[in-house]
Amino acid sequence: MADKVLMKGNEAIAEAAIAAGCRFYFGYPITPQTEIAAYMAKQMPKIGGTFLQAESEIAAINMVYGVSSAGKRVMTSSSSPGISLKGEGLSYIAGADLPALVVNVQRGGPGLGGIQPSQSDYFQATKGGGHGDYRMIVLAPASVQEMADLTIKGFELADQYRMTSMILADGTMGQMMEPVSLDYGEPKTFEKPWAVTGTKMQRPHNVVNSLYLVPEELERINFERYEKYKQVEENEVRFESYQMDDAEICIVAFGIAARVSKNAIASAREKGIKVGMIRPITLWPFPKKPLCEAADKVKAFVSVELSMGQMIEDVELATRCKKPVLLCNRAGGMIPTVEDVLASIEKANGEGGAF
Amino acid sequence: MDQKRITLLAGHYGSGKTNIAVNLAFRLKETVDRVTIADIDIVNPYFRTKDSQKELEAAGIRLICSEYANSNLDIPALPDALYSIIDDRGQTAIVDIGGDDRGALALGRFAPGILEENDFEMLMVINRYRPLTRKPEDLLAIRREIEIAGSIPFTGIVNNSNLGVETTKEDVLRSLPFARAASELLGLPVKMTTVEERLYKALEGSIENLFPLRLQHKIN
């Protein structure tokens, strides 16, 4: 039996980042993700790493840019309002094709909002947030173990594709405690011949930059970058298919919403309703194919979200509106209950394709 | 356990202090008339004694807690009623302190009164399955930091070693040598071993001072 420890989701992210070889953390405290910074502050000095509480979120993300330019694994973390502040830096990192791991443990918004869990930064994470044409790999953990596993995976994908991986968690995932196995072995690393590590007068300078003086060149870089994104879409889609074999209703949910939904599925099946779930683990790239295939089998979808309905747009696009998609949601830091989800399942089952 | 007038629960972040505090208050209420539970956590805005407010009040236990606990106002506020714990010696109190030295800072302002009366138990809650307290030696630094911040010396240990819902009887038994080693190293007695209610029957008789815990429900 692997030796397990009892961890908060936030701690699991920090510990997994260290296991992945990350030795640079820059951040600024904000509830509900402060445990990541606190853990790094305690651990980094013991292992020769750097923890730095920056003067702001903006400073922290630009420190990430700097360390990443030098080819080292680096991360920052924050919660919703802090991620908004990092928006400019995220765009510059994308424009310079730098790998980075950014964690957003979401809280209720907009504005200062509240400190209770939320998923209302879905648009910000998957559609942009910063300016310009760019994508981030967006990973959505639904357990403390996945907080750790996807952090490791996030670093690997970031290095492999030279782009940002974002862990899009919610306050519940950050705060809840569960047993975790942290048996990872040697981290997988990637050559970084593009990094600015000093030429030793033996090679031309590497340049890390997002400014292009000639528009044709900027256009070419954008098209090349989107070729890379296409590869990510082809190779890196992750999702969990749960009780979908005979399902007539398909729930789509991630993070804490998926956990509540699993309980609702059990209750619905006791009542004889055939319901399953497709749980996106990558929110970008979104699992379009399995959803499109499911649309030919089920009679309706239910998108369960801690937002006013953001992922539902991607569900409708992925399923090409072949079947109705209901929204089951709470907002402002509230979490849909099993009863909420069950009511939506019953509604979808009763009305089928009629609405 | 010889009941002192004030029982203080401190320890590493996430070691289980709040849950134990609430359970101790209910147990105490069985034999003592005036029981107060005081929450002086200034670190964590979640998982507070306030989660059990209804049950505590129904049992006739007084809860002193920041009115901002569990709200969106994330500030380290302490209610003025906390001073009654020191001044009103007719009550028996359980005090839930925030995690680590940061949490114990809030204890410092009450320390002179508690030390002067000298009728307290200062318990260190430990969990060997937490990542930063896996070795007894790890507890030395935590003890030092908390005692400096809180200005009150520890008098005993509560072994709350667990893996959450996955905890087995064996996990608890495996933690006993750890607790004994910690006890020797820190020079503090193990006052009790706490286990989730469902494991109590299986372990009863094999562990001294075993205490069953009912888990608090998170209210939303």
Best mutation site among B73, B75, B132, B196 for testing chain A: the one with the most A CBs within 10 Å?
B132
A63 and A179 inside one domain = yes
**Domain closes at, from A181, A206, A235:** A235
For A307-321, b/e burial (b = at least 16 CB within 10 A) is bebbbbebbbebbee
Give the one of A11, A115, A179 whose C-beta lies nearest to B74's C-beta. Answer: A115
pLDDT tens for each residue of chain A, 355 residues long? 458 999 999 999 999 999 999 999 999 999 999 999 999 999 999 999 999 999 999 999 999 999 999 999 999 999 999 999 999 999 999 999 999 999 999 999 999 999 999 999 999 999 988 999 999 999 999 999 999 999 999 999 999 999 999 999 999 999 999 999 998 888 999 999 999 999 999 999 999 999 999 999 999 999 999 999 999 999 999 999 999 999 999 999 999 999 999 999 999 999 999 999 999 999 999 999 999 999 999 999 999 999 999 999 999 999 999 999 999 999 999 999 999 999 999 999 987 554 4
Instruction: Tell me the C-alpha distance between B144 and B187, whole Å.
Output: 13
Domain at A320, CATH number: 3.40.50.920
Domain at A219, CATH number: 3.40.50.970
B9, pLDDT greater than 50: yes
Q: What's the pLDDT at A352?
A: 58
A177 and A313 inside one domain = no
A281 and A304 inside one domain = yes
In tens, the pLDDT along B145-178 reads 999 999 999 999 999 999 999 999 999 999 999 9
A80 and A134 inside one domain = yes
What structural domains does chain B harbor? 6-211 (3.40.50.300)
How many domains would you assign to chain A? 2
Q: Kindly provide the residue ranges of all beta strands, DSSP E only, lying in chain B, ordered along the sequence.
A: 6-11, 35-40, 62-64, 92-97, 120-126, 156-159, 190-196, 210-213
Q: What's the pLDDT at A354?
A: 47
Best mutation site among B13, B43, B46 for testing chain A: the one with the most A CBs within 10 Å?
B46
A143 and A251 inside one domain = no
CA B87 to chain A, closest CA, distance in angstroms equals 34
Give the one of B46, B129, B162 whose C-beta lies nearest to A175's C-beta. Answer: B46
pTM here is: 0.95
A162 and A251 inside one domain = no
B134, pLDDT greater than 60: yes
Q: Give the confidence band of B69 by pLDDT, cuts at 50, 70, 90.
A: confident
A161 and A259 inside one domain = no
Instruction: Tell me the C-alpha distance between A76 and A64, whole Å.
Output: 7
In tens, the pLDDT along B52-63 reads 999 999 999 999
**Domain closes at, from A209, A235, A261:** A235
Domain that holds residue A203: 4-235
Q: What's the pLDDT at B1?
A: 55
A151 and A223 inside one domain = yes
Q: What's the pLDDT at A355?
A: 47
Nearest C-alpha in A relative to B75: A31
**Domain closes at, from A200, A235, A270:** A235
Q: What's the pLDDT at A16?
A: 98
A88 and A12 inside one domain = yes
Backbone angles phi, psi at B158, to 5 degrees: -115, 115
CB of A336 within 8 Å of a chain B CB? The answer is no
Instruction: Tell me the C-alpha distance between A322 and A328, whole Å.
Output: 19
Establish whether this prediction's ipTM goes over 0.90. Answer: yes
Which chain B residues have a beta carbon less than 8 Å from that of A175? 46-47
Instruction: Tell me the C-alpha distance between B94 and A351, whole Å.
Output: 54
